[in-house]
Chain A
Amino acid sequence: MPYDTDVAQPGPPHGGPPHDGTASNTSAPLLRATGLTKRFFGNAVLEDVDLELRAGAVHGLVGENGAGKSTLMKILAGVYQPDGGTIEIAGERRAFGHPVQAQQAGLATVFQEFNLLPDRSVAENIYLGREPRRGALVDTGAMQRDTAELLEGLGVVGLSPQTVVRSLSVAEQQIVEIAKAVSYDARIIQMDEPTAALADHEVALLYSMVRRLQERGVAVLYVSHRLPELFELCETITVLKDGRHVATRPTRELDEAALVRMMVGRPMSAFFPDPVPGTEPGAEVLTLSGAGNGYVDGIDLRLRAGEIVGLAGLQGSGRTELVEGIFGAQPFTRGRLELQGKPVQIGSPRQAIRRGLALVTEDRKAKGLALNQSILDNALGVVRAVFPGRTRTARGSMPGVLSSMAVAARGMDQEVQFLSGGNQQKVVLARWLSTNPRVMLMDEPTRGIDVGAKHSIYELMRQLAAEGVAILMVSSELPEVIGMSDRILVMHEGRLAGELPAGSSEEQVLALATRADATGTTPGGDAA
């Protein structure tokens, strides 16, 4: 049995046949994955992981970023091929070489980044590749009708099959994705953080869809960072950590504290370095009042020298757009921006850099680095472009900067594409440090990098704060926000929902981010 032996399982006895078919959780598992292992360049990102899903049951999957959840899902979906282990569906051994094979086997996946064509209609997206035909022609009428029926069966009202996907809200697109999965007659549906970008009344709709799937006997694998919803939806929860299976327990035997302990596996405080002694918040360096652009509005924000302020919120809540607004990439069209108490207009990143701002972008590959250029060229990119006079100095100090951050590379002429994610991120930081910024905006500074690199980035942030740099850090990882921030700002739907002091709990942050406080409790939405 793949389960922890110290926990009594409601499942069938070892190797025994299912007693009866009445209760879903006593039947044989619909999906049984055993010993799944995946390595990238020799590093195991998933090692010997077992998972069992049962018909009509929702199975939660949790773990910190980098714990291997996505890898596990992608193996099940046929995107990755495992280096070890087996997958059985309804007792039959399966190997998926391609996502389509997984779909045909009845296993559908709703990924976080949607697999939809924005310029095609809902019906065309759902039936892509399987368009119903009458004779040689696509039966568009039948396609519309089937789609309408499908949506109705899932309890969705008012979503026209003819609507172009681009004009839908994120939640509606989510619904289309799920409907597409269901339309494959999927017996197993895995969902990757389906509520990550949803507002709470939309979450309620999603819950009711998940419950309908459950009633239909579908096995659901539900990945989420939002612990309360796992407790609400799931019968069983599996915890992964650092690519390994930690535990699989029935939800009723767990509470949030226990779950967090299993996920983190260590006391949180040890991981995040303490502030450098003597770091004191200084003068106000950045002030926003009533700032807004096309994405965010009514932003009032103060940032003081030597402060690390965390900016939390759900995906799509406008965090990135806010820092891009400050940085002039999506300039504010309303409100006031002051630097050191002086009102300024920042209309472009160039102006922002000249005024002592720096932005470590969320997507270092697309917006942060020229991958096929050398470390040195990347690290000097901004100085060369904006402060050509300082290039010589920056170049002279670069070896020291890079080695102080312990960038592991063959030499400064190595192309950055050959570096690990953590080292790439250090090059991005080196580039900004060489401009001597007074305000450092960091958008997901540790996304997708290993623990060691994370730690050195945290230490660097503490160091910068001690030198009087003001840091505004956007992060989706709540432990990071809580562990590093002197204050935490939380965004919700393009506005600041509130501010929390250092040491606040994940629940407090989530409550603001999802506005659970505004509507009372976590949305139940159990349509009676």
Chain B
Amino acid sequence: MSTSTTTTTTSTRRRAPITSTGIVFVVLALTIVAGAVLTAMSGRNFFSPGNISAILTGTSILGFIAIGQTLVILAGSLDLSVPYVTSLTSLVAGVIMAGQTSNIVLGVVVALGVSALIGLVNGLVVTLLDVHGFIATLGMGLILAGYLATNYKGSAGSAPRDFRLIGATNIGPVPVSTLIMLGCALLVILLLRRTRVGHHLYAVGGNREVARMSGLHTTTPVVLAHVLCSVLAGMAGLLLLARLSVGSPTIGAQGGYDLMSIAAVVLGGTVLAGGKGNILGTLGGVAIFAVMDNVMGVMEVNPFLKDVVRGVVIIAAVAVYARRTSARPPRFGKQPLGDRALQEAS
């Protein structure tokens, strides 16, 4: 064995199995097929521009929040305060705008500033006080819920007509709000794949000790993830304001965005423990929920059953992922072909 010893065992690189993101989109495709069939059985056309538009509209709010949630989960944390941030921003922006077009920019800036601040606090509590994200953001959520309940007795503020257009305009069958959401997704993808802090976010979420030993600042990525998550929840709040034209203190909690976003992230193949996953999968997860909701709406399924179906889908998906990870190749076992050839030769 002379030169051949320098060849590693990779000459027979095992064929990559389908990625978890791949699975998500296979499931999405199946959901769409099933949806199309079921919709057709109800005498409607699933692919009509109106219905497509309705589905895409359904993706944007949860999409914003789930993108942010993906960041936080990748970093090894969690954000349960998102629905309250969403409600709060819809109110803050609505009250500042007060129906005046000239106040739109100020309303948006203040609302997103407030959400960024909340995210910053979340991030600092998680990193500096070492409180797990679950508890830190549960506490923040309770604080915000209390603030909302005491200070807003009902809907407040009003969105000017120009701002409402964001929620109502379509380009072809595609709502503008969905395009904004996809734009944000693109930026976050860029952040994760092409910036240092994005790489470090994966590292910290994957194994904080390894990250620390590699000389990373382990707090920065986590804090950033929390800030961005809150800001994206704020964007969802602004979009809700545009759609409803008033701010509402309960809109976020009604949507159940905290747990739904986590469900979408997990459905999208991101590992709840952090360090593995991506935005594309999350978008797939959000789309699966949107298609399911749409089809069940068309079929007039009762709301309780809707939740049952969602629940079954989430559990089934995670069970599938769990099987995939436990079916990892054994630490040894069959030798790669190259090794055997090498041994026989020697």
Contact = CB atoms under 8 A, between A and B. Distances in A.
Interface string A129-170: 111010011101000000000000001111110010011011
Contacts of A131: 196, 199
Contact of A155 (B6, B332, B343): B6
B194 A120 contact: no
A119 interface: yes
Interface of A is mostly: loop
A265 to B, nearest CB: 34
Interface stretch (B119-127, B137-145, B149-157, B203-211): B203-211
A518 B343 contact: yes
Contacts of A133: 196
Nearest to A166: B328
Interface stretch (A13-21, A199-207, A229-237): A199-207
Contact of B333 (A99, A100, A119, A494): A494
A192 interface: no
A117 interface: yes
Nearest to B17: A167
A349 to B, nearest CB: 18
A345 B271 CA distance: 35
B5 A159 contact: no
Interface stretch (B8-16, B83-91, B247-255): B8-16
B330 to A, nearest CB: 5
A401 to B, nearest CB: 37
A311 B195 CA distance: 49
Contacts of A156: 6, 8
B308 interface: no
Interface in A481-528: 493-494, 518-520, 523, 525, 527-528
B213 A100 contact: yes
Contacts of A124: 199, 202
B43 interface: no
A138 B9 contact: no
Contacts of A297: 333
Contacts of A128: 199-200, 203, 210-211, 214, 216
A117 B275 contact: yes
B202 A169 contact: no
- How extensive is the interface on chain B, given as a class? 35 or more
Contact of A118 (B7, B10, B206): B206
A208 B275 contact: no
Contacts of B329: 167
A316 interface: yes
A528 B2 CA distance: 7
B187 interface: no
B48 interface: no
Given A120-B202, A136-B195, A157 B332 contact: no
Interface string A156-191: 111110010011011110010000000000000000
Interface string B239-281: 0000000000000000000000000000000010001100000
B339 A316 contact: no
A189 to B, nearest CB: 15
A295 interface: yes
Contacts of B211: 128-129
A475 interface: no
Nearest to A136: B195
Contacts of B342: 201
A305 interface: no
Interface string B192-235: 01111011101100110111011110000000000000000000
B17 to A, nearest CB: 9
Q: Among the interface residues B193, B198, B342, B346, which one has the most CB atoms of the partner chain A within 10 A?
A: B346
A317 B331 CA distance: 9
Contacts of A155: 6
B1 interface: yes
Contact of B11 (A158, A294, A527): A158
Contacts of A199: 332, 339
Interface in B307-346: 328-333, 335-336, 339, 342-343, 346
Given A117-B202, A494-B332, A157 B213 contact: no
B214 A208 contact: no
B3 interface: yes
A243 interface: no
11 contacts: A120-B202, A129-B214, A138-B198, A140-B193, A156-B8, A157-B7, A160-B13, A167-B16, A172-B10, A202-B9, A294-B330
Given A129-B214, A172-B8, A519-B343, 19 more contacts: A99-B215, A100-B214, A115-B213, A117-B206, A119-B206, A119-B276, A120-B199, A128-B199, A128-B203, A128-B214, A157-B7, A157-B8, A167-B16, A170-B331, A199-B339, A493-B332, A493-B335, A518-B343, A520-B346
Interface of B: 1-3, 5-11, 13-14, 16, 190, 193-196, 198-200, 202-203, 206-207, 209-211, 213-216, 271, 275-276, 328-333, 335-336, 339, 342-343, 346
Instruction: Give the top 3 A-B pairs by smallest Cβ distance, nearest first.
Output: A100-B215, A119-B276, A158-B10
